[in-house]
Amino acid sequence: MADGDRVPIADNDALAHETGADASAPLDERAMAEVSRMAEALVFASAQPVTEKLLAERLPQGTPVRAVMEKLRADYAARGVNLVRVEDAWAFRTADDLSFLMSREAVDQKKLSRAALEVLAIIAYHQPVTRAEMEEIRGVETSKGTLDTLMETGWVRLRGRRRTPGRPVTYGTTPSFLDHFGLEELRDLPGMDELKGAGLLSSRMPSNFSMPTPLSSPDELTEDEDPLTDIDLEELGLLTPRPEDD
C-alpha cells in the first residue's frame, strides 16, 4: 500500500461488531486494545492534532472516543512521548521533562514585543474582544502591526463582527495558541500573578484590569457577534475578490 493511501473504513460496522464497540456498553479488554491501536495510529500519522470528531468518524461505530483517548493518555503518561489534549483534539508531544534533550535546529520564532504579549493576554482572557476594547483595557493605543504579528504566529484569529455601530471586528485565540502553551482549554489559563511573573503583563496595566473567566466554547460566536462573510474578508484584505463575469 502506498504511503498516501487511506485505509478503507467501509467495514467499520463489521469491525465494531467484531471488537464489541457498542455505545450502550463499555468496551471489553480486547476491544479496547484494538480501538486504542487504531486511535494511536491515527494520531501518530497526523501532523496536526486530531479532533475527536474525526476519530469518531474513523473508529468503529459506537466507540467511546474520549474514554479510549483518556486510557491512551494514561498509558503514555510515563513515557518519553505523551498524548495530550488540545480542546477537542489529541496529539503526541515530547514529555516536558525531556525537552532538554531536543536540539533546536529550527530557526527560533521571532520573539514577541511586550506590547504584543499584553495584547495576546487580553485577547486570550477577554475574547471576543475588539481593538477598541483592547485599547480601553491597556490604556494605550494598539497598533494594527501588533495584531498582524499575532495573527502571523497563528495564535490569534478574526472571530466575527460585533453587533454595535461600525461593526468592529472581534478577535480570539486559536487551537495553535493552546497547543503552543501546553493548554487543554482556555480555562487552564494562568492567573494574573502568574502572568506578571512570566513577564506577560507589565506593571503599567490599569489597576482595574481583571481576568474574566475565559469562554468555555471559544469556537462559537456570542450573541452580540455576527459571522464574517466573504464581503467582510474582502474588505479586510483577507480574500481576493472574484473577477466579474463577462
Q: Are 216 and 187 in contact (CB under 8 A)?
A: yes
User: For residue range 170-217, what is the model confidence (pLDDT) as tens digits?
Assistant: 999 998 888 888 888 888 887 766 666 655 555 555 555 555 555 656
Q: Are 213 and 187 in contact (CB under 8 A)?
A: yes
pLDDT score, position 207: 57
Quick one: average pLDDT of 7-20? 42
pLDDT score, position 172: 93
CATH 1.10.10.10 residue spans of the chain:
12-97, 114-235
Most confident of 1-5, 137-141, 180-184: 137-141
- The CATH class for the domain spanning 114-235 reads mainly alpha
User: For residue range 45-72, what is the model confidence (pLDDT) as tens digits?
Assistant: 998 899 999 999 999 998 999 999 999 9
Q: Tell me, what DSSP letter sits at residue 17?
A: H
pTM of the full structure? 0.57
Work out the mean pLDDT of the chain and round it to a whole number.
79
pLDDT score, position 9: 34
C-alpha cell at 157: 484569529
The answer as to CATH 1.10.10.10 being correct for domain 12-97 is yes
Q: Is the pLDDT of residue 3 over 80?
A: no
Give the lowest-confidence range in 55-59, 80-84, 150-154, 200-204. 200-204
Cα→Cα distances 123→4, 107, 118, 245, Å = 39, 27, 9, 40
Report the alpha-carbon distance of residue 78 to residue 71 in Å, rounded. 13
| Of 2 and 126, the one with more pLDDT | 126
Portion of the chain with pLDDT greater than 90, in percent: 38
- The alpha-helical segments, DSSP class H, found in the chain are 12-19, 29-45, 52-58, 65-76, 114-126, 131-138, 144-153, 175-180, 192-197, 230-235
C-alpha cell at 244: 466579474
